[in-house]
Amino acid sequence: MKILVTGGAGFIGSAVIRHIINNTQDEVVNVDKLTYAGNLDSLVEIEQNPKYAFEQADICDRQAMERVFEKHQPDAVMHLAAESHVDRSIDGPAAFIETNIIGTYTLLEAARSYWNSLEKVSKTAFRFHHISTDEVYGDLEGTDDLFTESTPYEPSSPYSASKASSDHLVRAWLRTYGLPTIVTNCSNNYGPYHFPEKLIPLMILNALEGKPLPVYGDGMQIRDWLFVEDHARALYKVVTEGQIGETYNIGGHNEKANIEVVQTICSLLEELVPAKPDGVIKYSDLITYVVDRPGHDVRYAIDATKIEKELGWKPEESFESGIRKTVEWFLNHPVWWSRVLDGSYSRERLGNR
């Protein structure tokens, strides 16, 4: 197959591309606008592979999307391009409405036009796989409740509301136009190449520099943590074996309170980097509780029974093994994250690659 991946220079998208190029015979076309979160450094290991192609383009640009479909003739789309940081969505929701809603609409229309032009065999085989989040479901009330594929939507932030909207659009394009779509909703990802504004890499890098480790509220917000490489395997399973019209929840079976995650990182750093920054006695002394963000959901947790039962996928990493791999990766790849922190990764962009 030839798979068009939108947002392929992002955290999850780059993991998907690395997985496909390194583990399958399929070709990949990476379409990415290269916003602040798009980092081609995350694809260095495969960028010269003949099965890989890159197109710098905005999913909101209909002409650009039609050109990409016409030029590359993909057999499937994996749509990951999105604005995804909740705090940024609170401070500036406009970009989330534009990319996540208008961008998804534009991509759907370009894909539909292309799909309608295909011959019968190719048309039947085509898939549009939309990658979404468990945040569309809102907050879980009970301590034992889990999000299932039939959980009603109740988004809390501009980010999750925009993703909920995009999910509805994708399903409407199947119902109204017959476009063969599949939706997946995942829990919190973590792992190598994670953008440093997110919780886990932020804690690792702040601790290494002796900076405060800011924790919202009391830190008891619970998330289900999914190692990004496990997620990449699941997404490939869905796009190649999933049923049209179905939704698959993808979770890591690893519920942890935010404060527990931060404390685990501190413990690992005590073991792996005992030589601390000046003035730091214990990494955990850097933990600082800050005012909670507006509308902060207390608990997310996914029931991933369906994808395990129907497609045979389950996560390989426990939280303990995955977080150790993640911390070790950041310790061993200072060039990658230092280029993000100083901005040099984004100043170079495509022209100097």
Confidence tier at 271 by pLDDT (50, 70, 90): very high
CA distance 353 to 349: 7
Residue 351 pLDDT = 47
**CB–CB of 3/74 below 8 Å?**
yes
Among candidate residues 135, 224, 229, 255, the one labeled active-site is 135
Q: Is 135 an annotated catalytic residue? A: yes
Stated length of the chain = 353
pLDDT at residue 11 is higher than 50: yes
The alpha carbons of the chain give a radius of gyration, in whole angstroms, of 20
Among candidate residues 52, 105, 137, 159, the one labeled active-site is 159
Q: Is 134 an annotated catalytic residue? A: yes
Confidence tier at 294 by pLDDT (50, 70, 90): confident
- Residue in 85, 74, 176, 200 with CA at minimum distance from that of residue 129: 74
CA distance 101 to 30: 20
For domain 2-195+225-255+296-316, the question of CATH label 3.40.109.10 is answered with: no
Q: Is 209 an annotated catalytic residue? A: no
What's this model's pTM, rounded to 2 decimal places? 0.94
CA distance 333 to 208: 13
Among candidate residues 27, 55, 58, 134, the one labeled active-site is 134
For residue 35, the SS3 value is: coil
- Residue in 88, 108, 127 with CA at minimum distance from that of residue 168: 108
pLDDT at residue 350 is higher than 60: no
Q: What is the pLDDT of residues 216-241, one digit of tens each?
A: 999 988 889 999 999 999 999 999 99
CA distance 213 to 209: 10
Q: What is the pLDDT of residues 62-73, one digit of tens each?
A: 999 999 999 999
Confidence tier at 99 by pLDDT (50, 70, 90): very high
Here the tokens at position 305 are 């029974």
DSSP 196-213: TTSHHHHHHHHHHTT--E
Summary mean pLDDT of the chain: 94
Q: What is the pLDDT of residues 144-182, one digit of tens each?
A: 789 999 999 999 889 999 999 999 999 999 999 999 999
pLDDT at residue 346 is higher than 90: no
**CB–CB of 72/111 below 8 Å?**
no
Q: Which residues contact 63 (CB under 8 A, 6 or more apart)?
A: none
Lowest-confidence region among 137-141, 234-238, 309-313, 334-338: 137-141
* Local structure of residue 93 (DSSP, 8 states): T
